[in-house]
Amino acid sequence: MDIEICGPDRNDGETKRLAAFFARAVDAAMPENCLPAYLPEPPAGRTIIVGAGKAADEMARVAAAHFPDATGAVTVPAGTDVFGSGAIERFFATHPVPSSKSERAARHSLDLVAGLTPRDLVVCLMSGGASTLWALPPEGVGLEAIAKLTRALLKSGAPIGDMNIVRKHLSRINGGRLGVAAAGVRLECFAISDVPNDDPGSIGSGPTIGDGSTLSDARAVLAAYEIDIPTAVAAALQDAANESPKPGDPRLAATRFTMIANGASGLRAAEKRARDDGLTVVNLGAELQGEARDLGRAHAQLARRARAEGKACLILSGGETGVTVTGTGQGGRNSEYLLALADAIDDPAGIYGLACDTDGIDGVSDYAGAVFGPATMKRARAARMSAAAYLDNNDSLSFFDRAGGLVRTGPTGTNINDFRAILVT
């Protein structure tokens, strides 16, 4: 993975150290490094590979090398660079809002796993983004209604688990329904987790496993976040025919789910690199959630305390924060976290920070996130830029564009959620 730090700090030694820790976390989750050990022997019959997500292409490349006679298709975000060889077809769909391309890809995937025999094997490859890349609404619900609902949920600050409860009840492929379509056939699902707590039902909205949530839960989520529900969606969420298959459903008896990489494994890889460099590491874990700016301010207190006590250290964390959008900016959750962190530190002497999404895309921007150091904030003050004002407008992207510090990687080929690191020297 190539990491480009935009602005004057690209050659700063501490900034480059943070980028190296980020790179180590991403590398640990690359399919070529984490998938091969889990792949089973080829079956007596056919092998069908299906999958969706930001890591699906790289996962398919590895799986196809292991199963040279396999056929199938995986769905990746539009614009993804793919290797494009072999019999595994690529579908390009939209993210984070579904489109007709998402619907077409989901329908084709369901067709691929239908009509197989017990001699066959389905290999399902799931990673972050799959819930949107596979979008096949229930009868009577148009895709535009699903897209409108998705936009509202993204702006609401709802955590990914709540969003996926809704998605699983407005889909003919997610929430265990792909597994039902392949009933009676051995199905091995391998997943790279980008969700807090590694809930299998939240990775791609759990297309191969029983769903413990209900239609009532989905309605409650929309009510809690005061989402304006399209009429067709409201009707679908009252229709018992759209209830998802539950854990223990006999149609899912031949399916197995295996987690091959997650945020914790990425943090462990970065921590090992840091300890090898002689750093003291404080690992806060990969399950952190909440408002991005609130978490940034809380972590600023940790960094300031470490500096005041003369404790040089690296503070690591992962998980997925949210952003309740009230302004007109387009900054993502990682850059918003980082700007809140920098603003709360006030005097950042001896403190450096990085926050990036491991898929290479922070929200809707072309950047993975951002990095800052003392020089970043000095430039901002010289330009009379108010971090608080940019935060109020959810415009952290513009802040780091002007002050320097945006991080660009392009799509990485994997996704284990957010990576955050604070270096106190």
Predicted local distance difference test score (pLDDT) of residue 411: 86
Q: How confident is the model at residue 241 (pLDDT cuts 50, 70, 90)?
A: very high
Of 261, 281, 298, the last residue of a domain is 261
Are 38 and 23 found together in one domain? no
Are 251 and 294 found together in one domain? no
Are 285 and 146 found together in one domain? no
Of 213, 246, 261, the last residue of a domain is 261
Are 328 and 370 found together in one domain? yes
Are 373 and 289 found together in one domain? yes
Structure tokens at 304: 């300031």
Tell me if 341 sits within 8 A of 297, measured CB to CB.
Answer: yes
Are 409 and 272 found together in one domain? yes
Are 253 and 151 found together in one domain? yes
Are 315 and 357 found together in one domain? yes
* C-alpha to C-alpha distance for 204 and 175, rounded to whole angstroms: 9
Predicted local distance difference test score (pLDDT) of residue 84: 56
Of 204, 228, 261, the last residue of a domain is 261
Predicted local distance difference test score (pLDDT) of residue 125: 98
> What are the CA-CA distances from residue 156 to residues 153, 190, 323, 388 (Å)?
5, 30, 8, 21
Digit-coded pLDDT (tens) for 343-399: 999 788 999 999 999 999 997 788 999 999 999 999 999 999 999 999 999 999 999
CATH number at residue 289: 3.40.1480.10
With a pLDDT cut of 90, the percent of the chain lying above it is 86
* C-alpha to C-alpha distance for 311 and 277, rounded to whole angstroms: 16
Are 131 and 254 found together in one domain? yes
Predicted local distance difference test score (pLDDT) of residue 137: 97
Are 301 and 245 found together in one domain? no
* C-alpha to C-alpha distance for 374 and 303, rounded to whole angstroms: 13
Digit-coded pLDDT (tens) for 57-68: 999 999 999 999
* C-alpha to C-alpha distance for 131 and 163, rounded to whole angstroms: 10
| Chain mean pLDDT for the chain | 94
The position carrying tokens 């399916």 is 255
Alpha-carbon radius of gyration of the chain: 22
Are 210 and 147 found together in one domain? yes
Q: Count of alpha carbons within 13 Å of 251, Cβ hemisphere only? A: 16
Are 106 and 248 found together in one domain? yes
Predicted local distance difference test score (pLDDT) of residue 81: 73
Helix (H) or strand (E) holding 71: strand 71-77
The range of the structural domain enclosing residue 321 comes to 4-28+264-424
Digit-coded pLDDT (tens) for 250-284: 999 999 999 999 999 999 999 999 999 999 999 99
CATH number at residue 53: 3.40.50.10180
Residue 114 scores a pLDDT above 80: yes
How many structural domains are present in the chain? Answer: 2
Digit-coded pLDDT (tens) for 15-38: 999 999 999 999 999 999 999 999
The mean pLDDT of 241-252, rounded to a whole number, is 97
Digit-coded pLDDT (tens) for 140-151: 999 999 999 999
Digit-coded pLDDT (tens) for 174-183: 999 999 999 9
